[in-house]
Amino acid sequence: MGRKNINYKIENALLKLIESFQKKQKDQNWEDNFQTKYKQ
């Protein structure tokens, strides 16, 4: 029972993460952040 709960929490967190990535992609502001961080 406890294991299912952990899986559910992880799945939920992943969905939220993906959602936030998609939002940032629409705003086209995450690409700039990524490049400036890793270009140097």
Q: What 8-state DSSP symbol labels residue 9?
A: H
Q: Quick check: 7 pLDDT over 60? A: yes
**Section 4-8 average pLDDT:** 91
Q: Quick check: 12 pLDDT over 90? A: yes
Provide the residue range defining the domain that includes 13: 2-39
| pLDDT score at 24 | 76
SS (H, E, C) the chain: CHHHHHHHHHHHHHHHHHHHHHHHHHHCCHHHHHHHHHHC
**Section 27-33 average pLDDT:** 61
Q: Within 10 A of 30 (CB to CB), how many other CB atoms are there?
A: 15
| Residue 11: pLDDT band with limits 50, 70, 90 | very high
CA distances from 3 to 12, 13, 15, 17, 19 (A): 14, 16, 19, 21, 24
User: In this predicted model, which residue has the larger pLDDT, 5 or 30?
Assistant: 5
What's the structural domain count of the chain?
1
